[in-house]
């Protein structure tokens, strides 16, 4: 993919300056993007740059990204003609304590948040470890508070335990849900390594998925309205290799998704999840794969 090349859906003139007075005009106000960039295997600085230029989000939420590559990408974006300028926040702990596990990563493998210059941050990003986690990776979440669509919103960026650790994923989402009641408007973003449904699915899949129950019980809704607790074939997968829905932009309260996209990438691993946030009615269309 060539940096700066956009699909027609994103080539239109950008809108909205409002409170983001110092933000570059080309940044799309109220747009958030989440991506597991698989930095230890497939990630590169240029691939990060390409996806951010492609979608021009106000807020970028990354999982499994290499620290140095994130910093380098932010520097390149600032120098480019579009002048996409972001403040970068890194998680306090790397995903892997032993660098031998991620030799291809320049700098530690981690989660990161990029916020467009001029965006108001009410509560600065901080990192917390899950009480229960798997033995290899430090499972954690980042959280901060900002404003989207005119509403104060607390945003969580996370990656849950993978593989057969369904009980751990459930426990981790329970811990996140403990923080929700005090902030009615919330967004949970990231690679949750869990299918959405908590209801029977066709015979080829297990009868009952229960990891995501805390999310639905607390009133969250995915950017894709067909990816909920009841199985729906219109729910598009986000992990290309297996076709499963693992990546989410979940919102509750007054913030909803006006439209959303799933972006294919050269990584051929996780798709980029993009949502335009609104305080109005939620979209009833599935996320478009582009």
Task: Specify the pLDDT at position 181.
Answer: 83
First-to-last C-alpha distance (Å) of the chain: 13
Q: Would residue 7 count as lying in a domain?
A: no
pLDDT at 3 over 70: no
DSSP-derived 3-state class of residue 225: coil
Task: Specify the pLDDT at position 109.
Answer: 85
Task: Give the start-end residues of each E strand in the chain.
Answer: 28-36, 57-66, 86-90, 109-116, 121-129, 140-148, 151-159, 186-191, 221-222, 247-252, 256-263, 272-278, 288-289
**pLDDT tens-digit series, residues 55-113:** 999 999 999 998 999 999 999 999 988 889 999 999 987 766 555 455 567 678 889 99
Q: Would residue 8 count as lying in a domain?
A: no
Residue 241 pLDDT level (bands cut at 50, 70, 90): confident
Q: What is the dihedral of CA 160, 164, 165, 167, to 10 degrees?
A: 120
Alpha-carbon distance 234 to 197, whole Å?
A: 13
Across the chain, mean pLDDT equals: 85
Q: Would residue 16 count as lying in a domain?
A: no
Q: Would residue 104 count as lying in a domain?
A: yes
Are 116 and 246 within 8 A, CB to CB? no
Residue 258 pLDDT level (bands cut at 50, 70, 90): very high
Closest CA to 115 of 60, 71, 154: 60
Task: Specify the pLDDT at position 267.
Answer: 80
Alpha-carbon distance 234 to 254, whole Å?
A: 25
Alpha-carbon distance 1 to 10, whole Å?
A: 15
The pLDDT of 11-15, averaged and rounded, is 33
- Strands across the sheet containing 186-191: 121-129, 140-148, 151-159, 186-191, 247-252, 221-222
Percent of the chain exceeding pLDDT 90 equals: 63
Q: Would residue 18 count as lying in a domain?
A: no
Are 139 and 172 within 8 A, CB to CB? yes
Least confident of 30-34, 195-199, 254-258: 195-199
Task: Specify the pLDDT at position 228.
Answer: 94
Q: Cβ atoms within 10 A of the Cβ of 137, count?
A: 17
Q: Which domain holds residue 281?
A: 26-289
Number of domains in the chain: 1
* CATH number of the domain that residue 254 is part of: 3.60.10.10
Task: Specify the pLDDT at position 15.
Answer: 36
- State residue 123 phi and psi, 5-degree precision: -130, 120
The pLDDT of 189-203, averaged and rounded, is 80
**pLDDT tens-digit series, residues 262-284:** 999 988 889 999 999 999 999 99
Q: Would residue 3 count as lying in a domain?
A: no
Q: Cβ atoms within 10 A of the Cβ of 21, count?
A: 8
**pLDDT tens-digit series, residues 133-175:** 777 778 999 999 999 999 999 999 999 998 888 889 999 999 9
The pLDDT of 233-253, averaged and rounded, is 94
Q: Would residue 20 count as lying in a domain?
A: no
Q: Would residue 13 count as lying in a domain?
A: no
Task: Give me 88's structure tokens.
Answer: 């970068």
| Residue with more model confidence, 178 or 15 | 178
pLDDT at 18 over 50: no
pLDDT at 235 over 60: yes
| Residue with more model confidence, 79 or 12 | 79
Task: Specify the pLDDT at position 14.
Answer: 34
């Amino acid at each position: 993919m060539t940096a700066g090349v956009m699909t027609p859906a994103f080539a239109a003139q950008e809108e909205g300056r409002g409170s983001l007075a110092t933000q570059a005009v080309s940044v799309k106000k109220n747009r958030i993007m989440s991506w597991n960039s698989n930095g230890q295997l497939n990630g590169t600085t240029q691939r990060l740059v390409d996806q951010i230029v492609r979608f021009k989000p106000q807020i970028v939420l990354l999982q499994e990204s290499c620290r140095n590559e994130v910093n380098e990408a932010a520097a390149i974006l600032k120098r480019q003609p579009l002048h996409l300028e972001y403040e970068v926040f890194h998680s306090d702990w790397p995903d892997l304590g032993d660098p031998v596990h991620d030799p291809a990563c320049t700098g530690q493998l981690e989660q990161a948040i990029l916020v467009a210059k001029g965006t108001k941050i009410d509560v600065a990003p901080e990192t917390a470890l899950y009480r229960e986690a798997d033995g290899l990776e430090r499972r954690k979440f980042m959280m901060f508070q900002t404003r989207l669509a005119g509403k104060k919103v607390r945003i969580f960026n996370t990656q849950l335990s993978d593989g057969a650790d369904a009980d751990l994923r459930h426990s981790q989402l329970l811990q996140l849900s403990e923080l929700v009641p005090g902030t009615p408007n919330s967004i949970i973003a990231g690679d949750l390594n869990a299918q959405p449904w908590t209801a029977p699915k066709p015979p080829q899949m297990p009868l009952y998925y229960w990891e995501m129950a805390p999310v639905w019980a607390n009133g969250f809704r995915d950017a894709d309205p067909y990816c909920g607790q009841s199985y729906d074939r219109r729910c598009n997968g986000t992990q290309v290799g297996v076709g499963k829905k693992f990546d989410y932009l979940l919102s509750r309260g007054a913030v909803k998704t006006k439209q959303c996209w799933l972006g294919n990438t050269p990584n051929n691993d996780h798709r980029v999840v993009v949502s335009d946030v609104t305080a109005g009615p939620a979209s009833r269309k599935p996320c478009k794969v582009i």
